[in-house]
Amino acid sequence: MAPAGQRHGRIAMNLATSLNGSVRARRLGVVYTAETGFLLATAPDTARAPDVAFVASQIRMIIRDFVNIGNRRA
């Protein structure tokens, strides 16, 4: 996939900055930006890396960081 353009980058940064300020002030959860991968399903693996993502405090503990090691996650 080709890199995003300048306009896209500005919009994503503005959205992430605004969202992060609100989320942190209210302790609602965590905001992630591009390049953060989320594994949505396995067999076959389905992963997404959105430009901006919000994970609520209530479900943050069920999300685990993963590192690809061949086909194995550690």
> What's the chain's average pLDDT?
84
Helix (H) or strand (E) holding 38: strand 38-41
The reported pTM is: 0.74
Residue pLDDT, tens place only, 11-66 = 999 999 999 999 999 999 999 998 888 888 888 988 888 999 999 988 877 776 65
Cis peptide before 44 (omega within 30 of 0): yes
Return the amino acid letter for 52. Answer: V
